[in-house]
């Protein structure tokens, strides 16, 4: 069976059949899947030379997976074998889907003259320093360039209230399969014009084997009768008093 061959097309590696190969593999590093806009074929675009997370992945039960990935990536046997490691991110907020957008915006901030820009877990996605002040940036990624429906958390808005002057919501419009982004910054006042708060929603996670119940602790609150009554009072009290 013929070994898979690769070709570098504009910095993106595409698998090709036959013997017209330039690269026997894309090499080592962290890659993202890129779709060729003309042929629709899938390729690999390099994001980084090393697999690193300098921020916490939220508590969604995936820590063991990331530990295995990182351990595999740096293991001697994996390096000696010269193999490639593929990881596709899919899931809820905090599982790493917007890593490319956050990393690109960190570089954008450096070009804007910010210092010590880095990705964090809270109270926003990215923090940076400028003129002795700490700035907070919440990244909202989309592939649409006409409209965008999304959500922001209470944690983000609490930070907005604490320091609105140094907080920005940033919409990252993905281009070329996350290879490049267009960034649009919004002040909290501007973002409020697009934002509403719906009635409280209760999430559930049923394990039909009966072995697991709702996870206790963390930022999510477990449902109780008292909690429902308090949320009811808060919501309807604010709704009745709105202007």
Map residue 82 onto helix, strand or coil: coil
Map residue 159 onto helix, strand or coil: helix
Spatial contact of 186 and 168, defined as CB atoms under 8 Å apart = yes
Cα–Cα distance measured from residue 48 to residue 243, given in angstroms and rounded to the nearest whole number: 50
Residue 118 sits at φ, ψ, to 5 deg, of -155, 155
Spatial contact of 4 and 35, defined as CB atoms under 8 Å apart = no
Cα–Cα distance measured from residue 209 to residue 214, given in angstroms and rounded to the nearest whole number: 13
Please count the structural domains in the chain: 2
**Domain for residue 165, yes or no?**
yes
Task: Give the pLDDT confidence score for residue 205 in this predicted structure.
Answer: 76
Task: Give the pLDDT confidence score for residue 237 in this predicted structure.
Answer: 87
**Domain for residue 236, yes or no?**
no
**Domain check: are 103 and 77 in the same one?**
no
Task: Give the pLDDT confidence score for residue 46 in this predicted structure.
Answer: 78
DSSP-assigned letter for residue 126: E
**Domain for residue 32, yes or no?**
yes
- From the list 128, 151, 130, 125, the residue with the least C-alpha distance to 55 is 125
**Domain check: are 167 and 132 in the same one?**
yes
Q: What is the pLDDT along the chain (243 residues), one digit of tens a residue?
A: 456 677 777 778 877 665 554 566 777 777 777 877 777 778 888 777 766 555 444 444 445 555 666 666 666 766 676 666 666 555 544 445 677 888 889 999 999 999 999 988 889 999 999 999 999 999 999 988 889 998 998 889 999 999 999 999 999 998 877 778 999 999 999 999 999 988 788 887 777 777 666 666 667 788 899 999 998 898 888 877 765
Task: Give the pLDDT confidence score for residue 55 in this predicted structure.
Answer: 46
Cα–Cα distance measured from residue 169 to residue 220, given in angstroms and rounded to the nearest whole number: 23
Task: Give the pLDDT confidence score for residue 49 in this predicted structure.
Answer: 72
Which tokens in the block code for residue 9? 């097309």
Task: Give the pLDDT confidence score for residue 186 in this predicted structure.
Answer: 97
Which tokens in the block code for residue 96? 């790493």
Count of beta carbons in the 10 Å neighbourhood of residue 30: 19
Instruction: Give CA angle at 157 (235, 230), nearest 5°.
Output: 25
Sheet holding 133-142, edge to edge: 115-119, 126-130, 133-142, 167-175, 180-186
- In CATH, what number is assigned to the domain containing residue 180? 3.40.1350.10
**Domain check: are 48 and 132 in the same one?**
no
Task: Give the pLDDT confidence score for residue 38 in this predicted structure.
Answer: 74
**Strand duo 133-142 + 12-16: pairing:** unpaired
**Domain for residue 217, yes or no?**
no
Structural domain boundaries enclosing 57? 5-81
């Amino acid at each position: 069976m013929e070994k898979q061959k690769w070709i570098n097309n504009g910095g993106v590696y595409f698998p090709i059949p036959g013997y017209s190969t330039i690269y026997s593999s894309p090499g080592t590093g962290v890659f993202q899947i890129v779709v060729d806009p003309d042929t629709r074929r899938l390729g690999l675009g390099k994001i980084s030379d090393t697999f690193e997370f300098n921020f916490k992945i939220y508590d969604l039960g995936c820590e063991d997976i990331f530990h295995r990935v990182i351990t595999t990536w740096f293991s001697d046997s994996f390096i000696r074998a010269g193999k490639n490691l593929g990881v596709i991110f899919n899931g809820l907020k905090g599982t790493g889907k917007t890593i490319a957008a956050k990393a690109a915006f960190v570089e954008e901030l450096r070009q804007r003259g910010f210092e010590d820009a880095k990705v964090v877990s809270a109270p926003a996605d990215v923090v940076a320093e400028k003129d002795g002040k700490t700035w907070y940036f919440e990244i909202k990624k989309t592939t649409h360039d006409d409209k965008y429906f999304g959500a922001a958390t209470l944690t983000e808005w609490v930070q907005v209230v604490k320091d609105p002057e140094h907080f920005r919501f940033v919409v990252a419009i993905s281009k070329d399969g996350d290879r490049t982004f267009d960034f649009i910054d919004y002040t909290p006042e501007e973002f409020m014009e697009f934002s509403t708060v719906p009635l409280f929603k209760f999430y559930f996670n049923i394990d039909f084997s009966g072995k697991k119940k709702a996870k206790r602790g963390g930022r999510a609150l477990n449902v109780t009768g008292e909690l429902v009554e308090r949320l009811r009072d808060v919501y309807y009290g604010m709704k009745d008093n709105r202007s």
